[in-house]
Amino acid sequence: MLAPDIILAAVLNGLMTGSIYALVALGLTLVYGVLHIINFAHGATLTAAMFAAYVAQTALGIDPYLALLPVTLLFFVLGYAVQRFVIGPASHGEDRNILLVTLGLSIVIENAMLAIFRSDTRSIDVPYAFESIDLGFTFLAVPRVAAFGVALIVALLLGFLLRATDTGRAIRAVAREKTGAALAGIDVPHIYAVTFGLGAASVAIAACLLMPTFYVTPRAGNAFVLVAFTIVVLGGMGSIPGALLGALFIGVVESLCGLFLGESLGQIGIFLIFILVLLVKPTGLFGARA
Amino acid sequence: MLEVKGLVAGYGGTEVLRGIDLSVGAGEIVAVLGANGVGKTTLNRALSGLIKPRAGSIRFEETEIGGLKPAAIVSAGLIHVPEGRRIFPNMSVRDNLVLGSYRRGKPGRQANLERIFTLFPRLRERATQAAGTLSGGEQQMLAIGRGLMGEPRLLILDEPSLGLSPLLVEEMFALVARIAADGLAVLLVEQNVVQSLELAARAYVLENGRIVVSGQAKDIAADPALKHAYLGL
């Protein structure tokens, strides 16, 4: 049996990985909740944001944490524009078409990055990459603790936005009743685009938090989105608290499985949970019935 | 206040409205009557911008609004309370009402919320409850309340009595009378002929996408031949 210290350390590390998953899952679940589609371009968007943070650091000398705000804003605007001027018009109001358009977009984005950056694995050097906090029984990497803190704040802000602002209310309204929303004076295409922008912004934040300790290749984002998809199903499609709690839980599961089964088998637990949820409670922990 | 001339509208290859002329004056209650499938809902959808008119003009307070987006039409003060309520079932009663003032009436939001809770005490009791858990009658009140939150100059009520029990239908018409008593113009689109004619000053009868009868509500109510021919009474 392993010492409790080691298990506790694995749990803490899992929570920190989970917080990054949470940001990716929040974007995915938000877009699903409103547009009722899985955004297949989510992974490519994450990768693009990671390259943005990479370029900011290597070409402009901007630290990823300082780049967080401008990159997030940039991706919000890009996400807004892509939904408003590409996905929306190309889908002619059919949800199925949106799905295919995002799939097409992901191919375009990935190959554009492959053309620009090649398939090399790239990472950035930051002076604090290996700084850690000594808890006595384990060390926590500073960039991962920072990511955890920022991710929680972002999740809370997003929750506040949806609950307590007119734009947030409009997003929730459009999610369930498009015609009613339009008749209340809500500009539905605008709200769709805002939602898409928020989804892109949340992966942009994840990208900036990841870059100090992670690497980027033109397909780097996909691994995260695959896990995020499991989280969204576990938490309930469209549920914000479900995505946050599900992500932290999945992060811990992955970490503990890695501890007990070996690092390379860490993700087995995630997919076992995925299958179990689909079998036992397909609506997820916080999901509404269809 | 509302002047509709030669309005033609439809879906795909089907023309549903084939030239509608209609007007509503300030503070007036006007009824549009007709059976299912004569074009009442299409008329409302064209007036509120959900579909684009194919021909004709819709002037609201001296401005052409035909073909504008729904949000712009709401901004102008023409608010449509749709058939089937179309409330936001996943949101609280209060949030539903608040969204009624998303585009228009934002400065007066708190005062209007209070006014609507006074008008519909039931909604106050259920303010924090999800709107989808309300009964049909309560949902209709909520839909009307949400419409009033936008401080309409003209309110279109599309089948407000549909699916309600006879007692609630009475209540609903009494309520429409009370709202209109404050000087709000109402375009009441209904299948419920008898009560609509009692309430409205003027009425139009729609058949096959055309207005076949128009006039004072009391004259239409008093003409048995007319009622028999077009309204099945």
Query: CA-CA distance, B43 to B48, in Å (whole number)?
Result: 9
**A 176-205 near B (Cβ less than 8 A):** 176-177, 179-187
**Number of separate domains in chain A:** 1
Summarize pLDDT for B81-137 with one digit per residue, the tens. Answer: 999 899 999 999 999 999 999 999 999 999 999 999 999 999 999 999 999 999 999
DSSP-derived letter for residue A288 is P
Query: CA-CA distance, B178 to B145, in Å (whole number)?
Result: 13
Distance in Å, alpha carbon of B229 to nearest chain A alpha carbon: 34
**Out of B74, B80, B91, closest to residue A173 by CB:** B91
**Out of A179, A184, A185, closest to residue B50 by CB:** A179
Residue A79 included in any domain = yes
Q: Do A185 and B75 touch (CB under 8 A)?
A: yes
Summarize pLDDT for A220-250 with one digit per residue, the tens. Answer: 999 999 999 999 999 988 888 999 999 999 9
Q: How confident is the model at residue B163 (pLDDT cuts 50, 70, 90)?
A: confident
Distance in Å, alpha carbon of A276 to nearest chain B alpha carbon: 27
Residue A286 included in any domain = no
Predicted pLDDT of residue A180: 96
Q: Which H or E run includes A259? A: helix A240-261
Query: CA-CA distance, A16 to A149, in Å (whole number)?
Result: 9
Distance in Å, alpha carbon of B226 to nearest chain A alpha carbon: 34
Q: Do A179 and B86 touch (CB under 8 A)?
A: yes
Residue A290 included in any domain = no
Instruction: Give pTM, 2 decimals.
Output: 0.92
Q: CB-based contacts of A40: which residues, under 8 Å, 6+ apart?
A: A99, A102, A103, A105, A106
Predicted pLDDT of residue A289: 47
Residue A285 included in any domain = no
pLDDT at A45 over 90: yes
**Out of B80, B91, B98, closest to residue A183 by CB:** B80
Distance in Å, alpha carbon of B88 to nearest chain A alpha carbon: 6
Summarize pLDDT for A59-96 with one digit per residue, the tens. Answer: 999 999 999 999 999 999 999 999 999 999 988 877 78
Q: Which H or E run includes B187? A: strand B185-190
Estimate the share of chain A in helix, then strand, then coil, as percent rounded to the nearest 5: 75, 5, 20
Q: How confident is the model at residue B205 (pLDDT cuts 50, 70, 90)?
A: very high
Which residues of chain B have a Cβ shorter than 8 Å from any chain A Cβ?
48-50, 69-71, 74-75, 79-82, 85-91, 95, 98-100, 102-104, 146, 150
Q: How confident is the model at residue B233 (pLDDT cuts 50, 70, 90)?
A: low
Chain B residues with CB-CB distance to A169 below 8 A: 91, 95, 98-99, 102
Decide: residue A120, CB within 10 A, 0-12 exposed, 13-18 middle, 19+ buried: exposed
Decide: residue B55, CB within 10 A, 0-12 exposed, 13-18 middle, 19+ buried: middle
Chain B residues with CB-CB distance to A186 below 8 A: 71, 99, 102-103
Residue A119 included in any domain = yes
Q: Do B99 and A166 touch (CB under 8 A)?
A: yes
pLDDT at A170 over 90: yes
Q: Which H or E run includes A73? A: helix A64-82
Name the residue among A21, A64, A59 with its Cα closest to residue A221: A21
Name the residue among A193, A174, A59 with its Cα closest to residue A117: A59
% of chain A surpassing 70 pLDDT: 99
Q: Which H or E run includes A249? A: helix A240-261
pLDDT at B164 over 50: yes
Chain A residues with CB-CB distance to B139 below 8 A: none
Chain A residues with CB-CB distance to B87 below 8 A: 177, 180
Residue A287 included in any domain = no
CATH of the domain at A16: 1.10.3470
Name the residue among B1, B22, B41, B7 with its Cα closest to residue B214: B22
Cα dihedral B100, B102, B104, B108 in deg (nearest 10): 80
Query: CA-CA distance, A238 to A172, in Å (whole number)?
Result: 10
> Using alpha carbons only, how large is chain A's radius of gyration in Å?
19
Tokens of B148: 């009033």
Pairing of strands B185-190, B29-33: parallel
Q: For chain B, how far is it from start to end, CA to CA, in angstroms? A: 31
* Pick among B99, B140, B148 to test the A interface (most A CBs inside 10 A): B99
Taking the Cβ of residue A173 and every Cβ of chain B, the question of whether any pair is shorter than 8 Å is answered with yes
* Pick among A183, A186, A187 to test the B interface (most B CBs inside 10 A): A183
Q: Do B85 and A184 touch (CB under 8 A)?
A: no
Report CA A219 to chain centroid distance, whole Å: 15
Q: Which H or E run includes B219? A: helix B217-222
Pairing of strands B55-60, B2-11: antiparallel
Residue A193 included in any domain = yes
Q: How many CB atoms lie within 10 A of CB A237?
A: 23
**A 89-128 near B (Cβ less than 8 A):** none
Chain A residues with CB-CB distance to B98 below 8 A: 166, 169
pLDDT at B231 over 80: no
pLDDT at B225 over 50: yes
Q: Do A182 and B50 touch (CB under 8 A)?
A: yes
Query: CA-CA distance, A198 to A35, in Å (whole number)?
Result: 13
Predicted pLDDT of residue A290: 42
Taking a C-beta distance cutoff of 8 angstroms, is the pair A64, A57 a contact?
yes
Q: Do A173 and B88 touch (CB under 8 A)?
A: yes
Chain A residues with CB-CB distance to B69 below 8 A: 187
Taking a C-beta distance cutoff of 8 angstroms, is the pair B34, B205 a contact?
yes
Chain B residues with CB-CB distance to A182 below 8 A: 49-50, 70-71
Inter-chain contacts counted by CB atoms under 8 A, chains A and B: 71
Domain interval for residue A77: 4-280
Nearest CA in chain B to A287: B90
Tokens of A147: 């990511």
Q: CB-based contacts of B31: which residues, under 8 Å, 6+ apart?
A: B188, B189, B190, B196, B197, B199, B200, B202, B203, B204, B217
- Using the CB atoms, write b or e for B65-80: b if 16+ within 10 Å: bbebbbbebbebbbbb
Residue A159 included in any domain = yes
Total count of residues recorded for chain B: 233
Distances in whole angstroms, Cα of residue B227 to Cα of each of B1, B91, B190, B231? 28, 42, 15, 5
Total count of residues recorded for chain A: 290
Report the mean per-residue pLDDT for chain A: 92
Pairing of strands A139-141, B78-81: unpaired
